[in-house]
Amino acid sequence: MKRFPAKKNVSKKPARSRAKKAKSVSFGKITLFVFGVLFVFFVFGTVYHFRNGLLYYFGFRSHHGATELTEEERKIQDIRIFEVLSRHDTKVVGFDVSEYQSAVAWDKIDKIEDDFPLSFVFIRATAGNNRPDSRFEENWKAAKEHYFIRGAYHYYRPNENSLEQAENFINTVRLQKGDLPPVLDIEKLPKNQSIDSLKIGLRRWLNRVEKHYKVKPIIYSGESYYADFLKKEFKGYPFWIANYNFFVDNIKKDWLFWQFTEKAQVPGIKGLVDVNIFNGNKEDLKALCVGK
Catalytic residue (one of 160, 187, 210, 228):
187
Q: Is 179 a catalytic residue?
A: no
| Alpha-carbon span 80 to 74, nearest angstrom | 10
Q: Are 136 and 152 in contact, with CB atoms under 8 Å apart?
A: yes
Among the listed residues 74, 118, 77, 63, the one whose alpha carbon sits nearest the alpha carbon of residue 96? 118
| Alpha-carbon span 121 to 124, nearest angstrom | 10
Relative to beta strand 149-155, strand 116-127 is parallel
Bridge-partner residues for 122, per DSSP?
96, 151
Catalytic residue (one of 96, 133, 167, 185):
96
| Alpha-carbon span 183 to 174, nearest angstrom | 13
- Helix, strand, coil share (%) of the chain residues, nearest 5: 40, 20, 40
Q: How many CB atoms lie within 10 A of CB 90?
A: 7
Q: How many CB atoms lie within 10 A of CB 29?
A: 10
Return the active site residues.
Answer: 96, 187
